[in-house]
A and B are shown apart, each in its own frame.
Chain A
Amino acid sequence: MQQYLNESYVRINIKKGLDVRIGEQPGTRAGDIKRASSAALLGRDFLGVKPDVLVENGARVRAGQPLMRDRHRQDIVFTSPMGGTVAAINRGRRRSLLSIEIVAEDDETEGERFPVLKALDKDAVRQLMLVSGMWTALKKRPFGYIPDPGQDPRALLITAMDTEPLALDPVPVIAAHVDQFVLGIEALGVMYDGPVYLCQAPAADIPCGSSDRVRRVEFAGPHPAGLPGTHIYSLCPIGFDGGEVWHIGYQDVIALGYVLQTGRLWLERVIMLAGPAVTAPRALTIPLAAATDEIVSGELRPGAVRVISGSVLTGHTAQGAEAFVSQRHRQITVLPEADSILKASSNGGAYDTGLGGSPGPLMPVAQLNRVSPPGILAVPFIRALLVGDIDRARDLGALELVEEDLALLTYACPSKSNYGRLLREVLEQLHKEMA
């Protein structure tokens, strides 16, 4: 039944792209609840942040208590996803922060309380988002960093769709949290004065509140139709003049509404557990930033597998210090590790982690143009990335993109280069030059 789709909306068709089919799409039936006894704040969720860690190993923390802050923007704090004890602060290469692990205590402490706002106004909403850590759910283009609290974007996009392989359908999740979602949208509309776009799949039944500043836009077509990069390109292209666009995921909007409503953090997320190595693929409700080992235990087929937080195109390998679900991810995918050439080269829908060939020169085959991000000349752009020509890459649209937008190109390219990584290097250099 279509409850909300009565107002006018825009529809944008994305023609280029590719839906990578890695096995059967699981149903969208409301999922079971799975518990986990540890969670973590992942450093890789916060690109471009120089963290000041505020807690020590072994300290007791409440859920919602600040664990670290951005050294250069002290207002931005990162709050604990779980109440308990700080079990480990893991650092990686050049002392970059990998994760802050929290293990739940038996007598679970009550979470941090935030003030419940009587009336929404701009400063109060921003302040609440900052102290609750919800601000860090916002991402900006260009660069994909957390935006400055003192700035305003040209537009704010709510990503209420997902076209990644084996993605979770947002509609049932939003339907289960309608009040919080609508409240979250309203708060975002109060937080700044520009247009708010609700980006959704065609005919998806999603509420968007009563504000007339919220515009509903439908994106039809194959992946990357659901990526913020595609939406930004179609709605409000960004560029060289310092203008930025912010975007936020639909579960973070629900979480924002939840904080506004209850004064507490929403310590759950709904994710899709799927992939060729999962016995019973289904949607699950799990603790925020939960340890993947606990979530996938008892769910896997025998054999060597790779547990991925996120989709096969954009997620991270959940192992070691990073064996946690990212707060921004809406799925866990489990792939069998490639163990023989035969399997690695078979393409009958049974994907594994094989590279599918050996690295070689860039062959500009026609397929690359079919999977390029919209408006980007695929081959000239990746040539600029390969030689590290940052001026050329910027002229050809590097600022419009982040890693996830190039995932399909990396997937399809016979040279086996990783363009997402190359793009990040280019973006970091550009950021330094523009600062």
Chain B
Amino acid sequence: MSIIRLTTGAPHIRSVNDLSRIQAVQAIALVPVVIAAVLNTGYQYLLALNTAADEIHWDWSDRAVYFLGLDYQNPSFFGALTAGLVHVIPIMAVAVLSAGLCERAFSIQRNLPMQKGFLLSALIFSLFMPPAASLVHVAFGMAFGMVFGKGVFGGDGKTFLNPALLGVAVVQISFPTALSGHPVWETLGGYNGSHIFAVYHLEGGGALTALDMDWWSAFIGTTQGLMGTTSTLAIAIGAALLVWKGIASWRLIIGQLFGLIFIALLCNMWGGGILGLPWYWHLVLGSFAFGAVFVATDPASSACTDVGRWAQGVLMGGLVVLIRVVNDSHPDGVVAALLMGSVLAPLIDHIVVWFNVRQRAKRYG
């Protein structure tokens, strides 16, 4: 039984937006990304088995795939789907469980009904994980994000950092040998899974040819990487939905793109190697697109004025490239850039408000 709530005065009609509906739209926008993540993870796994079957670790997920009897010699759609689900489902399940327990704990302590936002946080968090992530790391990171990113601030809509982002950052910083540094963000345990930007730092300009990558496969998402971040195409579909529904600010997304292009062009003028990587590669490699669309635009933790959104977007996009090219121990750079952007958002808004107030005072004389 739900209670029907009515308006009690002007305005007598209301839009059908509320917190849970916003989160539902955000989750729906993630559906193409999840599909791409599952298929690509399975595809990469079968590919890796093909080329490096003797390096197999035989952890439980490898065994599961083995017992399912998948034909990795000829990767099929069904094979990729199954192998993908075997990797994606445990990570998501652990993330949901971990986030749900934290949410429940806070709801008991505050004597409030459970909010559904933890599902969205868990979804974003698990899509930010590599397929071979340790489940312990997943549980720890998610719990940290939920408690210190959300719970202590009072729940959905009252955060200043996206809880999923905070969780990912903590995992990256806490377990650098497993998830950061070099080799980083392995696709699967033991295989040729170094992060593309780590390869860049080691090998210089020849990395793309060494990995035999072309731009379209990176755009569509048949490359190695964090599960949800490989397919820029799927992310773009989600972005379109979020912007159309008025949830994400297109200013933030386009601003990040501008920042990325601007700094990348500056770096190109500077030199070769990773500095010479063109901006359209920065766009499709690593987790820039995923972070820009699903994390940076989180309404609760981004700038809330239009000018502020432009500023924050350009700042974050520029920082992504900057961190990528100057820092070889944190090759992706997206998480750090987003964290910095979120932390600076209130300051940016403060400046915009200050200008607005000053302008108004001036106009009145």
How many pairs of residues, A versus B, come closer than 8 Å at their CB atoms? Answer: 179
Interface size class, chain B: 35 or more
B314-355, CB < 8 A from A: 349, 352-353
Task: State the CA gap A416–B17 with chains docked (Å).
Answer: 9
Instruction: Quote the shortest CB–CB distance from B5 to chain A (angstroms).
Output: 4
Task: State the CA gap A370–B17 with chains docked (Å).
Answer: 15
A301-318, CB < 8 A from B: 306, 308, 310, 312-317
A338, A355, A358, A411 interface centre (most CB from chain B within 10 Å): A355
Question: Does any Cβ of B come within 8 Å of A134's Cβ?
Answer: no
B293-308, CB under 8 A of A: which get 1 and which 0?
A: 0000001101011100
Sampled A-B contacts (29; CB under 8 Å):
A237-B364, A310-B10, A314-B11, A315-B12, A338-B4, A344-B5, A354-B4, A354-B5, A354-B7, A355-B14, A356-B16, A357-B18, A358-B5, A358-B20, A360-B18, A360-B157, A363-B157, A365-B246, A366-B249, A367-B247, A369-B249, A369-B306, A396-B360, A408-B11, A411-B13, A411-B14, A415-B18, A415-B19, A420-B11
Structural contact, B5 and A364, CB atoms closer than 8 A: no
Question: Does any Cβ of B come within 8 Å of A297's Cβ?
Answer: no
Structural contact, A356 and B14, CB atoms closer than 8 A: yes
A354-412, CB < 8 A from B: 354-367, 369-370, 375, 377-380, 395-397, 403-404, 407-408, 410-412
Structural contact, A416 and B2, CB atoms closer than 8 A: no
Structural contact, A366 and B248, CB atoms closer than 8 A: yes
B220-251, CB < 8 A from A: 243, 245-251
Known: A338-B4, A363-B157. A357 touches B365 (CB 8 A): no
Question: Does any Cβ of B come within 8 Å of A341's Cβ?
Answer: yes
A221-243, CB under 8 A of B: which get 1 and which 0?
A: 00000000000000001111101
User: Interface size on A (CB < 8 Å)?
Assistant: 69
Contact of B243 among A237, A366, A403 (CB under 8 A): A366
Instruction: Quote the shortest CB–CB distance from B22 to chain A (angstroms).
Output: 6
Structural contact, B12 and A403, CB atoms closer than 8 A: no
Question: Does any Cβ of B come within 8 Å of A345's Cβ?
Answer: yes
Closest chain B residue to A355, Cβ basis:
B5
Contact of A241 among B156, B352, B365 (CB under 8 A): B365
Task: State the CA gap A293–B21 with chains docked (Å).
Answer: 37
| B residues less than 8 Å from A328 (CB atoms) | none
Question: Does any Cβ of B come within 8 Å of A335's Cβ?
Answer: yes
B residues near A, CB below 8 A?
2, 4-22, 155-158, 243, 245-251, 299-300, 302, 304-306, 349, 352-353, 356-357, 360-361, 363-365
Given A353-B12, A411-B11, A412-B246, 11 more A-B residue pairs with CB atoms under 8 Å apart are: A20-B13, A314-B10, A354-B4, A357-B14, A364-B299, A366-B299, A369-B304, A378-B304, A379-B304, A414-B15, A420-B11
Contact of B157 among A345, A361, A367, A397 (CB under 8 A): A361
A residues near B, CB below 8 A?
20, 22, 237-241, 243, 306, 308, 310, 312-317, 333, 335, 337-341, 344-347, 351-367, 369-370, 375, 377-380, 395-397, 403-404, 407-408, 410-416, 418, 420-421
Known: A338-B4, A341-B2, A380-B349. A395 touches B357 (CB 8 A): yes
Closest chain B residue to A243, Cβ basis:
B364
Structural contact, A360 and B10, CB atoms closer than 8 A: no
Task: State the CA gap A367–B299 with chains docked (Å).
Answer: 10
Q: Please name the 4 residue pairs, one residue from A and one from B, whose CB atoms are nearest each other, closest first.
A: A357-B18, A239-B364, A367-B246, A361-B157
| A residues less than 8 Å from B249 (CB atoms) | 366, 369
Instruction: Quote the shortest CB–CB distance from A397 to chain B (angstroms).
Output: 6
Task: State the CA gap A238–B365 with chains docked (Å).
Answer: 10
Structural contact, B247 and A366, CB atoms closer than 8 A: yes
| B residues less than 8 Å from A370 (CB atoms) | 246
Contact of A317 among B12, B243, B245, B365 (CB under 8 A): B12
Structural contact, B9 and A339, CB atoms closer than 8 A: no
| A residues less than 8 Å from B251 (CB atoms) | 366
Closest chain B residue to A20, Cβ basis:
B13
Structural contact, A420 and B15, CB atoms closer than 8 A: no
Task: State the CA gap A380–B355 with chains docked (Å).
Answer: 13
Instruction: Quote the shortest CB–CB distance from B3 to chain A (angstroms).
Output: 9
Structural contact, A313 and B10, CB atoms closer than 8 A: yes
Instruction: Quote the shortest CB–CB distance from A404 to chain B (angstroms).
Output: 8
Structural contact, B4 and A377, CB atoms closer than 8 A: no
Contact of B6 among A315, A355, A359 (CB under 8 A): A355
Closest chain B residue to A403, Cβ basis:
B10
Instruction: Quote the shortest CB–CB distance from A212 to chain B (angstroms).
Output: 27
Contact of A335 among B12, B158, B353, B356 (CB under 8 A): B12
Instruction: Quote the shortest CB–CB distance from B298 to chain A (angstroms).
Output: 9
Structural contact, A407 and B17, CB atoms closer than 8 A: no
Task: State the CA gap A243–B357 with chains docked (Å).
Answer: 18
Structural contact, B361 and A240, CB atoms closer than 8 A: yes
Structural contact, A411 and B299, CB atoms closer than 8 A: no
Instruction: Quote the shortest CB–CB distance from B171 to chain A (angstroms).
Output: 26
Structural contact, A362 and B361, CB atoms closer than 8 A: no
| A residues less than 8 Å from B304 (CB atoms) | 364, 369, 378-380
Known: A337-B6, A366-B243. A414 touches B364 (CB 8 A): no
| B residues less than 8 Å from A362 (CB atoms) | 157
Task: State the CA gap A88–B319 with chains docked (Å).
Answer: 70
| B residues less than 8 Å from A407 (CB atoms) | 10-11
Structural contact, B246 and A396, CB atoms closer than 8 A: no
Contact of A308 among B8, B12, B363 (CB under 8 A): B12
Task: State the CA gap A374–B252 with chains docked (Å).
Answer: 21
Closest chain A residue to B349, Cβ basis:
A380
| A residues less than 8 Å from B353 (CB atoms) | 377, 380, 396
| A residues less than 8 Å from B156 (CB atoms) | 360-361
Structural contact, B364 and A365, CB atoms closer than 8 A: no
| B residues less than 8 Å from A310 (CB atoms) | 10
Task: State the CA gap A345–B361 with chains docked (Å).
Answer: 42
